[in-house]
A and B are shown apart, each in its own frame.
Chain A
Amino acid sequence: EAQVTQNPRYLITVTGKKLTVTCSQNMNHEYMSWYRQDPGLGLRQIYYSMNVEVTDKGDVPEGYKVSRKEKRNFPLILESPSPNQTSLYFCASSLRESSYNEQFFGPGTRLTVL
């Protein structure tokens, strides 16, 4: 089944404790992206990747890192999480860059930073 998977689905952590949210897609998509969803703000792009080893900042990249060593995986890293990073995070992928192509979304990761 074609899908985007994320792990973990729920995470409660404390300020400053490094964490990684994994994202994997099995559709051989070139483009992958991370979004955060906050009430009243919709989805905002954190980082995106056009292909392996090619990543770039989205609209709200501060406090986040990403890597794209393999085509299928696009982990989101929070080196030192802070409470303002409490949010619902979605990974998405598309065949190529997302302005022309449908994005397929993962199930989301709800992160709480205490």
Chain B
Amino acid sequence: AQSVSQHNHHVILSEAASLELGCNYSYGGTVNLFWYVQYPGQHLQLLLKYFSGDPLVKGIKGFEAEFIKSKFSFNLRKPSVQWSDTAEYFCAVGIYNQGGKLIFGQGTELSVKP
């Protein structure tokens, strides 16, 4: 069965530290990849997405992610985090021709200390 795995359940960083959140998926076919963010008490919002082309995609608020097909990975990065980045981050994989299914990872809670 297809699945998405996020390596870290909870990450704690100080402001200005660099961030990398891991995401791996298990599916051998064509996928589309997303990162969503959920700020405390709010609904999920799209950070960035990859469909095709340049495997390094840039999203909002200085986030970027790199798709490495050989590793089935789509890691999220930010060079310098801010306190306002405190949120839960979800990696999601869209599998075409499966009813438009979007499979989410377990989520990574990021806490940024001021």
Contact of A41 (CB < 8 Å), options: B98, B102, B106: B106
Cα distance A35–B104 in the bound complex, in angstroms = 10
Most B-side CB within 10 Å, residue of A4, A31, A45, A94? A45
Closest to B46 in A: A102
**Is A107 engaged at the interface, CB distance under 8 Å to the other chain?**
yes
Q: Is the CB of B102 within 8 A of A103?
A: yes
Between A and B, how many residue pairs show CB distances below 8 Å? 67
| Size of B's binding interface in residues, CB under 8 A | 28
A43 and B99 form a contact (CB under 8 A):
no
Contacts A42-B90, A105-B44 known; A98 to B107 CB distance under 8 Å? no
A25-43 interface bits toward B, Cβ cutoff 8 Å, 1 = contact, 0 = none:
0000001010100001111
List, in ascending order, chain B residues with CB within 8 A of A108's CB.
Answer: 43
**0/1 interface trace, chain B 6-19, chain A, CB 8 Å (1 if under):** 10010000000000
Judged by DSSP, the binding face of B is: strand
**Per-position binary interface string of chain B over residues 74-114, scored 1 when its CB falls under 8 Å from any chain A CB and 0 otherwise:** 00000000000000001010111011111011110000000
Check: B26 CB closer than 8 A to any chain A CB. no
Give Cα A58–Cα B102 distance, bound, in whole angstroms: 10
Say yes or no: A98 contacts B101, CB within 8 Å: yes
What is the CA–CA distance of A35 and B105 in the complex, to the nearest angstrom?
13
Q: In whole angstroms, how far apart are the Cα atoms of A58 and B100 in the complex?
A: 10
B positions within 8 Å CB-CB of A: 4, 6, 9, 31-32, 34, 36, 42-46, 49, 51, 90, 92, 94-96, 98-102, 104-107
